[in-house]
Chain A
Amino acid sequence: VCIHRVRSCSSIRFIKSKYVCVFDKSALKFSHQQRLFRASAVSCGQIVQFKLSDIGEGITEVTVKEWYIKEGDSVSQFDSICEVQSDKASVTITSRYDGVIRKLHYSIDEIAFVGKPLVDIEIDASKGVAPEEDVVETPPMSHEEHTHQEIKGHKTLATPAVRRLAMENNIKLSEVVGTGKDNRILKEDILNYLAKQTGAILPPSPKAEIVPPLRKTETVPAAPKDKAHKIPVPVSRPVAFSGKDKTEPVTGFQKAMVKTMSAALKIPHFGYCDEIDLTQLVQLREELKPLAEIRGVKLSFMPFFIKAASLGLLQYPILNASLDENCQNVTYKASHNIGVAMDTEQGLIVPNVKNVQVCSVFDIAVELNRLQSLGSAGQLGTSDLTGGTFTLSNIGTIGGTYAKPVILPPEVAIGALGKIQVLPRFNGKGEVFKAQIMNVSWSADHRIIDGATMARFSNLWKSYLENPASMLLDLK
């Protein structure tokens, strides 16, 4: 009776009520047995009240916890509509129709009743409800992880993954010969079909992801054993081509970067670069590494760079100063709180080692270890991230030689360290020897620092590192 009524469109025009319940009650009772209910009756843009179906276990009411759609959204059959909860069970309610959501009968945290309307959907005039058979052929892919694909068809039998594989390769299931039970189409059948077409065996999952092996453990202070040899291979992340631009708000770490860098723009930067021969330091570190390990500490090159910088700052304290907002006063900071730029999963952070002027190289190594582990766990505290007076950035662990680092206000100088390369150099006797060369790029605030000061500081720093024994003379 129901079907007959709808077929003659003219009769529908006479139905004046706003919500046309197209299906009579007896049809609704079987609504959950979708195979039996041939839903080809609906058409002509009518609004259908989609009722909450039986949850099981005699449950009559549930709480609406989340809506996945809102009024005005289009939905396809099997798209998730909402999440309801009843007594420790979370239920995903999916749409039975293709159409447009016209009304949500409940808001979040309201109680919804089984058998009562949940949403009103305006059925697509052109589409109607796809009968079971057609849906089986090409299951609609919702964007959600949960694709409800357990559709049992009667014509072409195939599991959801096989269907997806077929769909991804634009294969009509009806053209594939099934070799499974009851002529079921198996994955092998799809692959064979494709192989015949392309003359090659395709990988089982066309969407194979490349898992980037480069973890962000290449943090700045943790210089690897052998900087010259362990250069991380840049991994290209898989580019999922969707063809659409994506706009996101700037939040969190990026927001912090925007603030810092905008402030840094106000500082007139000048750069000064040089190369350092670390041959002796490399050897020294090799000797000291096992000693540090016995004490339970990883010793990288950074503690030496940091200590040498502090010794240099003792001679050139203006590099450890701060200029006030109006450029009226310069404050010479007593503590050398040397910041170390760290690359974490979320972005750039710069914790600092406090009072380097009274720390030994070993003390600095211990502190760096602590900051690194907190940094990678995302657990650095405010005190670790504030109070810095001078910064070093070991970008060389990732790569590069020369850089143009940006000063982090309220500081006035910063140094970027490139990677250590083994290069040929001439010694005093004019002979070529193998040298471990690293480049340093300094940037300084030209309002209070002049080129000569930066150069002299750099030379001093360089001399400490090229001849580590000379550090002993000036260590306090």
Chain B
Amino acid sequence: MVLHSLKNCLWLPCVLRTPKACFRSTASGGLIIQSVSNDIYQNLAVEDWIHDHMDLEKRQVLFLWRNSPAVVIGRHQNPWQECNLRLLRQKNIKLARRRSGGGTVYHDLGNINLTFFTTRKKYERMENLKLVVKALKALRPQLDVHVTDRFDILLDRQYKISGTAAKLGRTSAYHHCTLLCNADKFVLSSVLKSPYKGLKSNATPSTPASVKNLFEEDPSLTPEMLLDAIAKEYAMQHQIDHHITLINPSDETLLPGINNKTKELQTWEWVYGKTPKFSISTCLNMAYKDSVLDVKVNMDVKHGRIEVCNIDLPEQWLPPGLYSKLVKSLTGSKFCPNETTMLVTTLLRVCPQDDELHSRWSLLCENMIMLM
């Protein structure tokens, strides 16, 4: 059942299709909604929207969502440090930066996401996670699941099946967590391994953990079952009907302004540009003709753009004019393979057409681009 106006839901009980049970008790009101979209950006935008526009005083909200393959980094993290960006691009896996803190996670349809919206005063992560564990135990009593003091949920005391993050605003807050049902662990471990060396940054690091799917413990479990069990528990605790309302994150009438939020989450400035300042200090090992050149590279990247760039090339390996043009070109440009490729290939057009020079240039630039 699709709501015609999420807002109106709060204020016009008489007109609404949501059951009147919603309004039975003003003290422990609740609303359970589920997204019909699997797009990470759209779903993150819904979180933003609820956080900014919904009044959570009388009613708390539980938001259920799943995404097609995506890597989600925390608000203050460094994507180069956290994941294998090359692999992501190759496999067409999206990269998103959420507004909450915490570490990097991999989402696919085998993973479910739960967001608990409350007022800032009622922000209580432990309670939420205990609710999840209770729901899991009600569904499958034999599951050995418990909440750690790091707000993780562990299976068999060993394997992480859920990670948590939160966002607090002036009056409202949300706590969201993942839950692994039957995600692709192989892809998960390969994309969350960063190949980039020599990175120095104060960005929030992730804590790697061994993960396991609930499906491995009990093959009869599906993501739908888990979502349902958790919704049921939430409904019980909030004394509301076990009813899940579907919402479409692209519905501008239901959620005015949502498309702008979705767009903003996709911009390069948000995803990469919000990376805290970091530096790269590494050595390129370039095989040229019969020898191997060790070229030291130092770069400072701020707001995702190269602030400072130093490449320690052997003297006269490149004509000095060209070297300084390269550095000047890179300075201020995005720390991005696509943009760098553009710039370096353009520079090649305006320098002497010498095969030897071209092959050296290509070698150097390809190695530089590998850093991004």
Contact = CB atoms under 8 A, between A and B. Distances in A.
Say whether A associates with B: yes
Interface of A: 55-57, 65-66, 78, 83, 85-92, 94, 108-109, 145-150, 152, 159-162, 180-181, 184, 186-187, 204-205, 207-209, 211, 249, 251-253, 255-256, 259-260, 263, 322, 324-325, 331, 346, 349, 377-383, 385-386, 408-410
B358 interface: yes
A57 B52 contact: no
10 contacts: A78-B170, A87-B151, A88-B74, A91-B167, A150-B55, A160-B53, A187-B5, A256-B346, A378-B338, A385-B341
Given A89-B101, A208-B252, A382 B338 contact: no
A256 B256 contact: no
B51 interface: yes
Contacts of B366: 381-382
Instruction: Name B's interface SS.
Output: mixed
A50 to B, nearest CB: 13
B346 A259 contact: yes
A205 B353 contact: no
A252 B342 contact: yes
Given A159-B53, A187-B7, A263-B349, A381 B168 contact: no
Contacts of A260: 346, 349-350
Contact of A259 (B92, B164, B347, B352): B347
Given A148-B170, A252-B343, A324-B352, A386 B11 contact: no
Instruction: Name A's interface SS.
Output: loop
A211 B175 CA distance: 32
Contact of B362 (A92, A147, A207, A383): A383
Contacts of B333: 251-252, 255
Across the A-B interface, give the 9 residue pairs with the lowest CB-CB distance, nearest first: A88-B102, A90-B101, A89-B166, A256-B346, A385-B345, A378-B338, A91-B168, A150-B171, A90-B75
B368 to A, nearest CB: 10
B76 interface: yes
A471 B71 CA distance: 51
B264 interface: yes
Contacts of A56: 120-121, 123-124, 168, 173
A148 B10 CA distance: 18
Interface string B283-312: 000000000000000000000010000000
Given A88-B165, A187-B7, A204-B253, A380 B123 contact: no
A209 B252 CA distance: 10
Contact of A184 (B5, B11, B305): B11
Contacts of B329: 255
Interface string B148-187: 0001000000000000111111111101000000000000
Given A85-B204, A90-B167, A386-B362, A324 B338 contact: no
Given A161-B7, A252-B343, A349-B342, A409 B350 contact: yes
A386 B57 CA distance: 60
B348 interface: yes
B125 interface: yes
How many interface residues does chain B have, given as a range?
Answer: 35 or more
A410 B256 CA distance: 51
A325 B321 CA distance: 15
Given A90-B99, A149-B52, A251-B333, A324 B353 contact: yes
Contacts of B151: 87-88
Contacts of A386: 345, 348, 358, 362
Contacts of A150: 55-56, 170-172
B260 interface: yes
B7 A159 contact: yes
A109 B202 contact: yes
Interface centre among A89, A145, A204, A325 (most CB of B within 10 A): A89
A88 B150 CA distance: 9
A180 B11 contact: yes
B170 A92 contact: yes
Contacts of A145: 48, 52, 260-261, 264
Contact of A253 (B169, B342, B352, B365): B342
B76 A249 contact: no
B276 interface: yes
B332 interface: yes
Nearest to A150: B171
Interface string B1-45: 000010110111000000000000000000000000000000000
Contacts of A252: 333-334, 339, 342-343
B362 A146 contact: no
A186 B352 contact: no
Contacts of A263: 349-350
Contacts of A331: 353
Contacts of B7: 159, 161-162, 187
Given A56-B120, A65-B276, A256-B346, A209 B339 contact: no
Contacts of A152: 55, 57
A251 B173 CA distance: 38
A251 B56 CA distance: 43
